[in-house]
Amino acid sequence: MTTTHQFSLALDALVELKQDTAAPLSKPVPAAPTLDSVLAEIGSLPREALFLGVASDGLPVLLNLHDPIPGPLLVAGDAGTGKTAFLQMLVQGVQQTHHAENVQFGVITSHPDEWDHIEATSHHVGIFPVTHNSAQDFIRSLASWAHVNNKASQSILLLIDDLESVVRLEPDTLQNLRWLLLRGPARRVWPIITLNAERYGQVLSWIPMFRTRIFGRIAKDHVASALGSDPASALNQLEAGIQFSLRENGKWLKFWLPSR
**Would you say 164 and 109 are in contact if contact means Cβ atoms under 8 Å apart?**
no
Q: Across 50-54, 57-61, 115-119, 256-260, which has the greatest mean pLDDT? A: 50-54
Query: What mean pLDDT is predicted for residues 163-177?
Result: 95
> Does residue 19 surpass a pLDDT of 80?
no
Contacts of 105 (CB under 8 A, 6+ apart): 90, 91, 94, 123, 124, 125, 156, 157, 158, 159
Q: What is the pLDDT of residues 198-233, one digit of tens each?
A: 999 999 999 999 999 999 999 999 999 999 999 889
For the entire predicted model, the pTM comes to 0.89
Complete DSSP assignment for 171-188 = HHHHHHHHHHHHHGGGGT
Return the CATH number of the domain spanning residue range 64-252. 3.40.50.300
> Does residue 1 surpass a pLDDT of 50?
no
**pLDDT of amino acid 5:** 47
Confidence band, pLDDT 50/70/90 cuts, at residue 120: confident
Q: What residues does each domain of the chain span?
A: 64-252
Contacts of 162 (CB under 8 A, 6+ apart): 109, 110, 130, 194, 195, 196
**Would you say 218 and 198 are in contact if contact means Cβ atoms under 8 Å apart?**
no
Measured between alpha carbons, how far is 53 from 34 in angstroms, rounded to an integer? 11
Measured between alpha carbons, how far is 242 from 76 in angstroms, rounded to an integer? 13
Q: Across 9-18, 55-64, 113-122, 134-143, which has the greatest mean pLDDT? A: 134-143
Query: What mean pLDDT is predicted for residues 1-17?
Result: 48
> Does residue 12 surpass a pLDDT of 60?
no
Confidence band, pLDDT 50/70/90 cuts, at residue 29: very low
**pLDDT of amino acid 26:** 45
**pLDDT of amino acid 58:** 86
**pLDDT of amino acid 151:** 65
* Average confidence score pLDDT of the chain: 88
Measured between alpha carbons, how far is 173 from 194 in angstroms, rounded to an integer? 18
Q: What is the pLDDT of residues 71-84, one digit of tens each?
A: 999 999 999 999 99
Query: What mean pLDDT is predicted for residues 165-184?
Result: 96
Query: What mean pLDDT is predicted for residues 22-28?
Result: 47
Q: What is the pLDDT of residues 87-97, one digit of tens each?
A: 999 999 999 99
Q: What is the pLDDT of residues 231-256, one digit of tens each?
A: 889 999 999 999 999 998 889 999 99
